[in-house]
Amino acid sequence: MNKTQQAASVLAICASILLSGMLITYKPGYEALSEFKLPTGVPPALGGTGITKVGEGTVVDKTLSLSGTGVVFVKADKAVVVLGAYTEDKLASRAIAENAALMTSVIKALKAMGFTDDDLQTTSYSVYPNYNWEVRLVIGYQVTNMIQVNVTDLSKVGDVIDAATGAGANRVDSVSFGLKDETSAKMKLDAYKLAISDVKAKSGVITSGLGISIKGVQSVTESSYSSPIYYGGMDYSAISSKAPTPILNSNLSVTVTLNIVYLIE
């Protein structure tokens, strides 16, 4: 076979391969999008863009998203005082015993004011070694016992601190004011009403200004927050035992936010 015949044979083979490939990939009646196929081994998520077709006659809802906020201010009707005793000694047993004696006296003084076991809870109790890193030895022990006093008569908050410190408490970590559960629930409902009024006022202005109307509500989500008043630890060692400790009550706020998605037309 001469070179001309060999060349003709190669061209014929190439033409056959090309024609076979065209016949395999050609599928009459399919749209161009459906004909496209990724190379073998390439996941669909890595090649091309997904397309979602909306059928004829499908109606997409038009929406208006608004938020409204209601805030209610109210006087606190409960307080929590966290106080206790700190002791240290070379011997753990002596530090523990001294601390127990102080806290027994503190609790006795608080119960003399009318507080019960339900009003008093231990928040923390710890015994830690006092380690001297220079000599690498334990040189003593620290004992801390903290209790929580729940006060519903807010006029007694200062008296609680005075009675406890007078009986031996040497730490007052915090005083916080809050709301009883029933008060918080009532204030939250009032805040909801204000939030609804707020969002209605906004929707009225927007719909009238844009010439649209509301035909329903698609969804409603809400969040609420009550802000307690907190006073951190204070040094009571300098307070005269003859002067009562002044603790002033302040307003608390209960906030509710509503997020409403309206259906409009």
Q: Examine the domain organization and report whether 85 and 172 are in the same domain.
A: yes
Task: Establish if 54 belongs to a structural domain.
Answer: no
- Could you report the per-residue pLDDT of 136-169, keeping only the tens digit for each? 899 999 999 999 999 999 999 999 999 999 999 9
Q: Is 231 exposed, middle or buried (0-12, 13-18, 19+ CB in 10 A)?
A: middle
Task: Establish if 11 belongs to a structural domain.
Answer: no
Residue 251: the pLDDT is 80
Average pLDDT along the chain, 265 residues, taken 10 residues at a time: 57 58 52 47 44 61 95 92 97 97 98 97 96 91 97 94 96 93 93 96 96 95 83 52 62 93 95
CATH of the domain at 151: 3.30.70.2970
- Please tell me the total count of domains within the chain: 2
Domain that holds residue 216: 60-76+180-265
Q: Examine the domain organization and report whether 100 and 171 are in the same domain.
A: yes
Sheet with strand 137-151: strands edge to edge: 120-132, 137-151, 78-89, 171-178, 229-231
Domain-ending residue, one of 116, 148, 178: 178
Give the Cα separation of 111 and 226 in Å (integer). Answer: 30
Question: Chain-centre distance of CA 48, in angstroms?
Answer: 40
Residue 246: the pLDDT is 67
- Could you report the per-residue pLDDT of 88-128, keeping only the tens digit for each? 999 999 999 999 999 999 999 999 999 999 999 999 999 99
Q: Examine the domain organization and report whether 64 and 145 are in the same domain.
A: no
Give the Cα separation of 120 and 113 in Å (integer). Answer: 12
Residue 42: the pLDDT is 43
Contacts (Cβ under 8 Å, ≥6 apart) of 235:
none
Domain-ending residue, one of 125, 152, 178: 178
Task: Establish if 90 belongs to a structural domain.
Answer: yes
Task: Establish if 10 belongs to a structural domain.
Answer: no
Domain-ending residue, one of 140, 159, 178: 178
% of the chain at pLDDT higher than 70: 70
Q: Examine the domain organization and report whether 72 and 152 are in the same domain.
A: no
pTM over 0.75: no
Q: Examine the domain organization and report whether 194 and 261 are in the same domain.
A: yes
Q: Examine the domain organization and report whether 152 and 201 are in the same domain.
A: no
Contacts (Cβ under 8 Å, ≥6 apart) of 194:
69, 70, 71, 72, 256
